[in-house]
Amino acid sequence: MRVTLKEIADKVGVSRPLVSFVLNNAKGSMAISAEKRQRIVDVARELGYIPNLSAQVLSGKPSRTIGLVNVCVIQYSVAIEINHFLNYAPHFGYQLLLDPIAHPLRELEVYRESMRNILSRGVDGLIFLGTPPPEILEMTRIPNVIVKLPQGKKEPPSDFDFASDLKAGSYLAGRHLLKHGHRKIVLLCTNYNSAFLKLEGLRQAWAEAGLPAEQVHMIEAFEEPAEKRILECIREQGVTCGLMSNDFIGARLMQFLDRNGVRVPEDFALIGFDGSAFAYLLNPPLTSVVSSFEENARLAFELLISRIKHPGEQEARKNQYVKPSMFLGGSCGCPWDAPDLIVRKRDMLFLRENMPGQVIPYDDYLKLYT
């Protein structure tokens, strides 16, 4: 049974309103000695008293809870981004109320019902993973932040606060492979619609190097036989390097090339995308663009807390693209030392934790390698 204020009051020998005044840190002029105040606190702790959060929220106090909307873990990169939010919440003194969904696309009425459920629990603010429909934003009358997830070229533009800069990531990868002396590259992706920004980044790097756009190839695995095409690129078209649209494709390609007698990085250098924790476990370790998932989470919390502290001043969306980092493994041709430790105290979800010395921030990379 929940411990009540009356039980505490009876044990201390004071009135229930006085106990409520002390435990809720209420403002007012109730006269109470420091000794009696401490006695109430001690007895509450001794009896295991837990404040009624709903009652506190109704009285206008913050719940110290933030709703994380659109929690969908079927895609690896989004699941990692969600983990960063879970990791940062306690650092900012908040708990997260999760809105789990089985698929990123859901009907509007289902979305509305989820929002009614979350808002009824008195959260102080919301972080949306992905831009919500206008109807959802209309019913959201509390501080909120939008972290944009990757969108296809065919999707209409929308306002947001923070998003990973995919074009900057592929530009960084292109610059790195050019530095290794490569002049023909292939982007291996699922389809152009989802990877168009990565293609634009590669083309920008090639244009700045004075190389023709025709030397930047693309294979759409959902549209053509990727296995056949990648071998044709390497053996018949003189393509010597590639950017993979994610690290899973990079890892599978390394195995496929090994089975077909193509050495990495001697015959074909490649870079993955996202900065997955398993990248350093491959042989050679997979060089990867480390998406800004961690930075997105930190920036989102900081902005939301600022908006919570200044209610009624929900400023315009920031529309800020957050730059990635680069993990230097061996698949691109960089030298690599095998790790000294086989067993670690714990295996970590995030590449930056595993190999911090090999992860170089965007601006630092450009300074080092320009």
Summarize pLDDT for 201-221 with one digit per residue, the tens.
999 999 999 999 999 999 999
Residue with tokens 């015959």: 267
Q: Give the residues of the chain that fall short of pLDDT 70.
A: 1-2, 26-29, 51-61, 312-314, 340-341, 343-349, 370
Domain borders along the chain are 5-51, 65-165+295-322, 166-291+324-369
Q: What pLDDT is attached to residue 316?
A: 87
Which CATH number does 5-51 carry? Answer: 1.10.260
Q: What pLDDT is attached to residue 54?
A: 54
CATH class of 65-165+295-322: alpha beta
Q: What pLDDT is attached to residue 290?
A: 95
Distances (CA, A) of 147 to 10, 78, 301: 50, 11, 11
Q: Closest Cα partner for 90 from 250, 296, 301?
A: 301
Q: What pLDDT is attached to residue 156?
A: 79
Q: What pLDDT is attached to residue 268?
A: 98
Q: How many residues does the structure list for the chain?
A: 370
Domain 65-165+295-322 identical in fold to domain 166-291+324-369:
yes
CA-to-CA distance for 202 and 240, rounded, in angstroms? 14
Reply yes or no on domain 166-291+324-369 having CATH 3.40.50.300.
no
Q: What pLDDT is attached to residue 58?
A: 47
**Each residue of 218-271: pLDDT tens digit?**
999 999 899 999 999 999 999 999 999 999 999 999 999 999 999 999 999 999
Q: What pLDDT is attached to residue 28?
A: 66
Q: What is the pTM of this model?
A: 0.82
Q: What pLDDT is attached to residue 125?
A: 94
Quick check: 146 and 318 in contact, CB under 8 A?
no
